[in-house]
Structure 1
Amino acid sequence: MASTLPWDLLHSFLGVLREGSLSGAARLLDLTQPTVGRHVAALEQALGQPLFTRSSTGLLPTEAALSLRVHAEQMEVAAAALQRAATARGDEVRGTVRVTASEVIGVEVLAGVFAALREAHPGLVLELALSNQLQDLLRREADIAVRMTPPEQGQLIARRIGSIELGLHARPDYLDRHGRPTSLADMAGHTLVGFDRVTPFTRAGVKRLGGITRDSFALRCDSDLAQLALIRAGGGIGACQVALARREPPLERVLADQFSWPLETWVAMHEDLRQNTPCRVVFDALVEGLSRYVGS
């Protein structure tokens, strides 16, 4: 096996893994199908073992391919981080910065921050990765993270913004039709909006809701944005950030004295990026924008 494997071979390998075919990988990577095929064949020759088998549904990864996936993805993350770092030019606010945040924060709060950043610094390229999964800043899966839990990894610069409060809300006309609950027990007679899959985060939330569980939700979805849309559409009662509920159209809070869930909010980045001008500018803008939101 060659002592080093060209990144383009591994890039094509990941494309085939994700798409399940040479043609799909070619479209994903903006390459020709023969080029992707040559890359996979060259990688198989270098490794001395097959990576895919043909089936009626496409290309199936072998055990060897599956075992290589995590390592290739780590290289992909490192290559992307290298490319972002290479675009930074001294003290200029120019280059690519990747930010990860939850769906709701990214769409409802950070979109305005990003728009203002681009207006002030046209040389910035901003990548927004929306996910409720924690991205690993030490592995440089992102440059900056907005998190609802205190960062536990070392080697991070972290700024605590404050607490974002979650409360139970519904559209006023829904409550006009179905009544306003006076206790958590009254919620049994309402359409509730909530999660589908149980996670440690959702498990912590339902502990605050007494006897309400996943089975209590008539409208289930794991997308926080979709849950918010269902509440705003008048579908029922669900958890929503209190600051968002004040926006147009306003939502009405219920049982404020019985359910309140403060989420600590942090902005974090790897300490190696302290001297990276674009990252520092974006970090400061996120702190300022989120601080305004928390105080609203």
Structure 2
Amino acid sequence: MSMHDHDTDKDGMHVETTEASPSKCRQWCLNPSVLILMGCVLGIVLGCLLGKYGASKELLTWVSLPGELFLRALTCVVVPLVFVNIFLSVVDMLQAGHAAKSGLYTLGYFGLTTVLSVLMSIVSVTVFKKWFSHTALSQANVVGSAGMLLVPCGNSTDAASVRWFPNGTLVCAAASDASSPLVLPSQSPTAPPTLSKTIQDQIFRALVPDNIVQQFVTGNYLGTLFLCHCIMAFAILLAVSMDKVTPRPVGIVQLCGELNAMLLVCIRFIIDLTPLAVLSLVAGGLGTTTDFMAAVADVGIFLVSFLVAVQF
């Protein structure tokens, strides 16, 4: 069917008409960011309804199950996708003879985008964190006196008893302490690692794993701030080593290329399910909360920060 139709007016003149273009409103509604926003809003509504009518924990697990499966599928596909992409990229650079120059450009671009991402994250946290709800004291360290089981302990003149708290803590306290909340001493924090220890563990030891298969299983493919992690380093090592082999092993390159094409299709299919996953996770999370106003306010601030980040 032609894009142009010819109509005849009263004077016998031919008037050329063009088919209507797709609706801008429909294009806007199909925008991925808009779909994610809609999924979040629907998740808030569904989560509030589930919490209001006292949905059971079993029902909430079914509600949040699609979101959990989405995260598992994303993690499952990303690890091999990163490996084959790094491997093929290094192979292409070696074949073109510009490995050093292209590598420097890639490393510089990666470092620049990483710095910009970190700066944007810091700015977003600084701007929006004051609107999120906070509790005055940690529930892990502050325990009320309700629901305690009294067992005598200590000297008889002290009227002290062993008090059991819902978090499993046993304390020998006097009766005078029962009317006020008991602030439990927190565990002594461990000493922070030194700079040398951090550099050795997060950079050098991370680049040379003792078990590459375990790294694939754990999905630990992300790196430090400017350096790639072990799976990326292993892919680069394989690509450089393959370039030194004669005759050149073409089969492995073809296999990785076909795997890359299939994994890209998988990742597109998974990403298309992001709005449904957001709806599932938000609804499942809000269904378990009792303070709906604080939770909805936090989600609203998150949506505002998300929309601001999308603009950049």
Sort the TM-score into its range (normalised by shorter chain).
Answer: under 0.3
Q: Larger % of strand: which?
A: 1
Considering only CA atoms, is the larger Rg found in Structure 1 or Structure 2?
2
Taking structure 2 as the reference length, what is the TM-score of the superposition? Answer: 0.21
Taking structure 1 as the reference length, what is the TM-score of the superposition? Answer: 0.22
Q: Larger % of helix: which?
A: 2
